[in-house]
Every structure is written in C-alpha cells, then in structure tokens.
Amino acid sequence: MLLIPAIDLRKGKTVRLLKGDYKQETDYGHNPLELAKEFERKGAKRVHVVDLDGAKGDGSNRSTILKLAKEISIKVDTGGGIRTMRDVEELLEGGIAQVVLGTAAIENPKLVAEALQKYPNQITVGVDALDGIVKVRGWLEGSGKDSLTLIKEMIDLGVKEVIYTDIARDGTLLGPNYKAYAKISTLPINVIASGGVSSLEDLKRLKELPLYGVIVGKALYESTFTLEEALEVLE
C-alpha cells in the first residue's frame, strides 16, 4: 500500500485544519518546497498537495505547487480549486502527476469526462464526505449526494482512482473510518484512504484492506510516528 504524505497550503503556509474548519488552522511553519524535498529524501514515492485557498475560492497556491512539482522527482498530486479544463491542462502540463477533482465531480461531471478523454490515467476524484454525504467547495457546502453513489458514477465515467476523506476524522488523530474504507475498497477502483490516521497500528489495519494507498498528514507533523516507520509498516 502506497504511503502519501500530505502538504496542505493556506496563503503559502503549510497548515492543517481540524475537520476541514478554516477557523481551526494550525500553521506548522514548514517551507512547502523544503518539506516536499524532505519527504522525497525519506523515501516517499508521491506527495499529496492541497490548495486550501483554491478549494475555498478565495485565493490560489498554484504557482507554489507547480514550482514544487518541478523541484522534486517523485509524483505530486494536487486538488483544490480545479474547476475548468484549462486548470487541468495547466497543472498536468506543468508537471503535476495527478489532478484531484472534487467539487467538479459533483457540479460538472462533463469536465471529468473531458479530462479523462485527454488524460485517462491522470485524473483522480476526491470524495470528501461527512456521515457518508459528499461536501464541496472546501467542505463548506453540502451536495446531498451519497459518497458511494458518486464513486460508482465516477467508475462508470472511467475514473481509475479515488481519494476518500472522512471529514469527521480529518486532522483529529482519532483513527480512520475503517467501516467506510472496507465498503469502498470492494469497488473496482483504486482507493486512497484519507483522514484520522494516528498510529502505526492504524496503518497496519488499513493495510489489511484492499486499498491502493493512504494519505497521512497531521500524524507526521505531530511526530506521532516517522515517515520511515510508516513506510516500513506498509512496504
């Protein structure tokens, strides 16, 4: 199972939000470029970069993200504020390995289909759910759509990878929603778990499921375990 460290950007800073709440933000003081290089040095094969300003619609960290992708050799996936085909093209042509479409998957599935036609292996869908219902626009608005229904619709479109985030667990260090991942991992799509990982034991339990990968953020920043320890558990 692939371990993917997370870098969340807010106004150029590396931060973590609690359950996606922009009012509960912790600034860890890391330079995002140096942090990505550190993850690469320690053995990560991919890094997950979220543009929180882009997701909310009140700014952008895209120039930083594109620079980051050019300065490291491992894969970079990114999401947040990707709403048009031009956005998709700018990121993928700029060196990003995977773009993560979240709000667009709900509001504009035609964009997902168009992006898949041009970049069939580089489109990931981000499903961010609270109590199983998908939220959009930086998790600030409800969509009314069941997460499993959305994933099945994306599979029908040809999406090969999904990042599923349980909002109630994200940034809490309370452990993942194993029940949700067990259900989703039975679907014919690569599933990346996100939200709540707090210990190496959590990683061991997730490894027992047929998941493609797991995103880890706060646990690394809070030094609950090291990246090297996590890689050893999963590999």
**Residues involved in catalysis:** 8, 128
Question: Which helix (H) or strand (E) covers residue 99, if one does?
Answer: strand 98-101
DSSP string, 157-172: HT--EEEEEETTTTTT
Pairing mode, strands 2-10 and 46-51: parallel
The 10 Å CB-count burial string (b at 16+, else e) for 36-45 is bbebbeeebe
The closest alpha carbon to 51, from 160, 149, 155, 126, belongs to 126
